[in-house]
Structure 1
């Protein structure tokens, strides 16, 4: 989805960063006089929005800067469109410029929230052992809409979730040997709950893990 940017992304690439080094020949005169200049201190770098408003860069140059910055972000790690919008806003890019760049990236497949959501679900469940509830919360934080999130979460079935809970529970109870049984139950079940597992699934997994060790679990239903 978000592989190495290719030639399909329009526009020139320059050796500048989001502050605009290397784009065009316009240079702001901020800091050439005044306290900062007299003391030898560098003036704070102005945002692209400020430079655009001051006429120091053109709209096209601002677009080039935005394009380069988005490419760097995506090269480092996949992002949803909403995450990119937020990152670019923090860097001081004007929203209309960012919107045009992101629209073009979406057209050529460098931004794809559907594929991104599927990737998040797969990795969070298989690598971190998160349940669907916890993954759904993460998708919301990343700006994935409910319909896209629901479709992606369909990759994890009820049986998948129970199997993962059982695997995690085995490791959790193994680390608490020597504690009282009820304390082991509470610790392991709480750890599973933090990963998003429903109470019933978490308790059943912990109970089975203890039973596999030969621990008496016949009366544990009252603790669930």
Structure 2
């Protein structure tokens, strides 16, 4: 008996299966695009992380969000909410900075004002914060800085001590007139000769 062929008993030829079709590749041959990032969630996470590390001004937080490509509108909305709950407060931030920098580093009002501007604090808020330090506070801090500098340079010549003391206090924003009077006072108290060729140069 001859072998029957073409009676459908065997498997259909490859590629001829009824109801089957090869899947079409994605259009353009690329993977499906990733979803757009949730800018608001990113903004909240960035702000919380920064505030956990240390207090920040609103301007500093705005700069951080801009670096993360958070749209300005989203950044403003998120920062407004943090401000409403008291986690972002430029007035309190400025007052705290003034008190700590003056107490720990002996910075003058002038130097403190410069630092506040660098942190993005507006002039009105900065002026109010600087009231935390008055003239007597400045003189007291400057006197302590002068005494410390003269003490650490006691082994040097008087003119060298004077120059270094002026330079140290100038970096903290104190005017030469105030420093000069305090240096003379301190040198007189220790019986040192405050006259020398470098004295007038240091005051100029």
> Which bracket does the TM-score occupy, shorter chain normalised?
0.7 to 0.9
| Other-structure match for 2:63 | 86
The 3-state SS of whatever aligns with 1:111 is: coil
| Other-structure match for 1:57 | 36
The 3-state SS of whatever aligns with 1:106 is: helix
1:176-191 aligned at under 5 Å gives the runs: 176-191=153-168
1:7-156 aligned at under 5 Å gives the runs: 56-57=35-36, 61-156=38-133
After superposition, the C-alpha distances for 1:139-180 in whole angstroms (9 at most, x for unaligned) are 001110111101110111111100110001111011112222
Structure ID, larger Rg: 2
After superposition, the C-alpha distances for 1:43-68 in whole angstroms (9 at most, x for unaligned) are xxxxxxxxxxx87236xx32122112
Under a length normalisation based on structure 1, what TM-score does the superposition of the two structures give?
0.71
Under a length normalisation based on structure 2, what TM-score does the superposition of the two structures give?
0.77
Contact 2:98–2:129 (Cα < 8 Å) also in 1: yes
User: What is the aligned-residue RMSD (CA, Å)?
Assistant: 2.1
Contact 1:185–1:207 (Cα < 8 Å) also in 2: no
Alignment coverage as a number of residue pairs: 171
Contact 2:163–2:199 (Cα < 8 Å) also in 1: no
Deviating above 6 A after TM superposition, structure 1's stretches of 4 or more consecutive aligned residues are 218-221
Quickly say closer, same or farther: Cα 1:221–1:183, change in 2 above 3 A. closer
User: Per-residue deviation at 1:216?
Assistant: 2.7
| Other-structure match for 1:197 | 174
Highest relative contact order (Cα 8 Å, sep 6+), 1 or 2? 1
| Other-structure match for 1:210 | 187
**Unaligned stretches of 5+ in structure 1?**
1-32, 34-53
After superposition, the C-alpha distances for 1:88-142 in whole angstroms (9 at most, x for unaligned) are 1112222111110001111111111000000010000001111111110000011
The 3-state SS of whatever aligns with 1:209 is: helix
Matched, 1:161 2:141: no
User: Per-residue deviation at 1:221?
Assistant: 7.4
